[in-house]
Amino acid sequence: MAESNAASPKRHGRSPARKNTAAEVSKSFSVDMNKLWRTNFRALEKLIWRDLNNNPKSQTFYKYTKDNIVEYLKDPQKNEKQLRNAVIYMYGASSHFRRLIQYFVGLSDLSYFILPYGIDASSAKGDLRKKFLKASDYVSKFDIKRQCKDILTVCLREDVYYCTAREIGNKITFQQLPSDYCKISSMSDNVCNVTFDFSYFDADQALIDYYSPEFSTKYAAYQKDRTQRYQDLEPPFSFAIKCNTEILNYAMPPFAGVLRNLYDISDYEDLKLTKTELENYALLVMKLGIDKDGNWLMDYQKAVEFWQNLDQVMPEEIGSVLSPMDIEKISFDRAGGTNDTDKVSDSENHLWSAAGVSSLLFNNTKASSAALLLSIKSDQAITFSIVQSIELALNRIFQNQAVGKSFRISFLDISPYNRQEMAKQYLDAARYGFPTISMYCASIGMLPCEVESLAFLESDALGLHDKLIPLQSSNTMSSSSSGRPTNQSKGEGLDDSGEQTADSDQNASRI
């Protein structure tokens, strides 16, 4: 049988199959691996938050009462989860609360510039530009102005934003961690570190695929040793940003104290609605008189028939009754003419006062620009303290990279309310030779990576500086050609008054 198989190729006129050389095998393996790598890399370019097909669960919130809120505030550490859920619910249910949070978030436009430090200016000039361009490109991966807005919103609403940063493609994405399973137990480089409760994955282990490989490794350790339930996530890519940094043991929503005021607004609005509905109703009374002997002044059955005829043609909003007694209207109108609209307005003003912000910002008719600006500056300091914590966390990631060893990110205390003032300050300082050009560019909304590229595009590539020449005016003319055109330059003669002025040389003193 073996002999027949050996002769088979010769019998059919075929030569033995040629084996691939080592170089061909290596080339084929390289192509397959590159194809596999490209496929896996494309999968890593997006961050999956949830699988809608396999995890159709929806999050619901319980509407707490005013009494519940009062009890929770007595022991905020024990009721940390309930207070967090209450403010999240109110953020969606109350336009007043949402507007309050968004007002504080908008008090920083997250303008930043990249600041070099620890550099020897005499020897680093040659390659500093290349290093700076690489550093600005890396910082642009953070997408600071969009992602940090979310951090500010969560911090001002719930107090703490727990996060792990993941480099996905050419972006660094901040993945928010479930707050109910996170704690702060340590700090490094003045940044709060995250301690995670890995029992979070016990209910659904498929969720672990949506997190970085660090979570899989530490969850495996927790499964082997249940005492490893709480484990610190590795810095610098995992961090926590806290609003109330003076309280690190638990989360205390900054505006939890105004929840009761929000319920007051809702109560007054319900009362106003109830009164408005009652004002749309009426009651007609038909009185059937009685004489001194107790007899009806009219046949009772006839009176009932008249009343029934009237009642049948009444609209639903109007009722009727047949009564032998006088009915007196008793009114509960408030003394002094104070209506329900005033009460609702007063409760709204109490809300802004309880939150510590000026009611002038929210449709108050007694506007005062000076007092308003001072109030905004006070509120802006609260937001900027959170921005400074974000700056420390980003610099801890940035300076852990090779491109960030000699640079750091610096945020400016700028909001839409003082942008013009701060831009003028930086521009005036630059005119006197101070190094504030980068700050000025940041104050008008330019990113560090945009300044260099736009300067090259407009000056070198397009030559716009040579093409866009301003028109001649007194602002663009030199001092030798400045001033009002003379009659001689216009080819006109002098009138009598002009000749008298020229003869007496009266204009000589004006030069």
| Per-residue pLDDT at 27 | 47
| 176, burial (CB in 10 Å: exposed 0-12, middle 13-18, buried 19+) | middle
With bands split at pLDDT 50, 70 and 90, how would you rate the model's confidence at 191? very high
User: How big is the CA angle at 176 (ends 213 and 73), to the nearest 5 degrees?
Assistant: 135
User: Of the candidates 217, 59, 228, which has an alpha carbon nearest to the alpha carbon of residue 208?
Assistant: 217
With bands split at pLDDT 50, 70 and 90, how would you rate the model's confidence at 30? very low
User: Of the candidates 182, 173, 115, which has an alpha carbon nearest to the alpha carbon of residue 144?
Assistant: 173
| Per-residue pLDDT at 39 | 41
Structure tokens at 239: 């961090």
Handedness of CA 434, 437, 442, 447 (dihedral sign): negative
| Predicted TM-score (pTM) above 0.85 | no
Handedness of CA 62, 63, 69, 71 (dihedral sign): negative
| Per-residue pLDDT at 129 | 84
pLDDT score of 26 more than 70: no
| Per-residue pLDDT at 152 | 97
* 186 within 8 A of 177, measured Cβ to Cβ: no
Question: Position 467: which residue type?
Answer: K
CB under 8 Å to 287, separation ≥6 — which residues? 323, 324, 325, 326
For residues 409-435, average pLDDT: 94
User: Of the candidates 257, 260, 259, which has an alpha carbon nearest to the alpha carbon of residue 91?
Assistant: 259
| Per-residue pLDDT at 326 | 65
| Per-residue pLDDT at 4 | 42
| Per-residue pLDDT at 286 | 73
For residues 140-168, average pLDDT: 95
pLDDT tens-digit map of 318-330? 777 767 766 555 5
| Per-residue pLDDT at 383 | 95
* 87 within 8 A of 157, measured Cβ to Cβ: yes
* DSSP 8-class letter at 146: H
Q: How far is Cα 273 from Cα 262, in angstroms, rounded to an integer? A: 17
pLDDT tens-digit map of 457-475? 888 888 888 888 776 666 6
| Per-residue pLDDT at 44 | 46
With bands split at pLDDT 50, 70 and 90, how would you rate the model's confidence at 349? low
Q: How many CB atoms lie within 10 A of CB 349?
A: 14
Kindly state the greatest CA–CA separation across the chain.
140
pLDDT score of 122 more than 60: yes
For residues 105-111, average pLDDT: 95
For residues 471-494, average pLDDT: 61
Structure tokens at 128: 């500093």
pLDDT score of 348 more than 70: no
| Per-residue pLDDT at 488 | 61
pLDDT score of 59 more than 70: no
Strand partners, 319: 283
| Per-residue pLDDT at 108 | 95
pLDDT score of 109 more than 50: yes
With bands split at pLDDT 50, 70 and 90, how would you rate the model's confidence at 47? low
With bands split at pLDDT 50, 70 and 90, how would you rate the model's confidence at 224? very high
What do you get for the CA distance between the two ends of the chain, in Å? 123
Q: How many CB atoms lie within 10 A of CB 411?
A: 20
Whether omega before 236 lies within 30 degrees of 0, making that bond cis, reads yes
| Per-residue pLDDT at 7 | 43
Q: Of the ranges 3-17, 71-85, 378-392, 394-408, which one carries the lowest mean pLDDT score?
A: 3-17
3-state helix vs strand vs coil in the chain, percent to 5: 55, 10, 35
With bands split at pLDDT 50, 70 and 90, how would you rate the model's confidence at 388? very high
With bands split at pLDDT 50, 70 and 90, how would you rate the model's confidence at 443? very high
pLDDT score of 29 more than 60: no
Q: What is the DSSP string of 201-261?
A: GTS-GGGGGGS-HHHHHHHHHHHH-GGG-EEEPPTTTEEEEES-TT--SS---TTGGGHHH
* 165 within 8 A of 237, measured Cβ to Cβ: yes
Number of H helices, E strands in the chain: 17, 10
pLDDT score of 511 more than 80: no
* 320 within 8 A of 310, measured Cβ to Cβ: yes
Mean pLDDT over the full length of the chain: 78
| Per-residue pLDDT at 289 | 79
CB under 8 Å to 46, separation ≥6 — which residues? 168
pLDDT tens-digit map of 268-316? 666 666 666 666 667 677 777 777 777 877 787 887 887 787 778 777 7
CB under 8 Å to 440, separation ≥6 — which residues? 423, 426, 427, 430
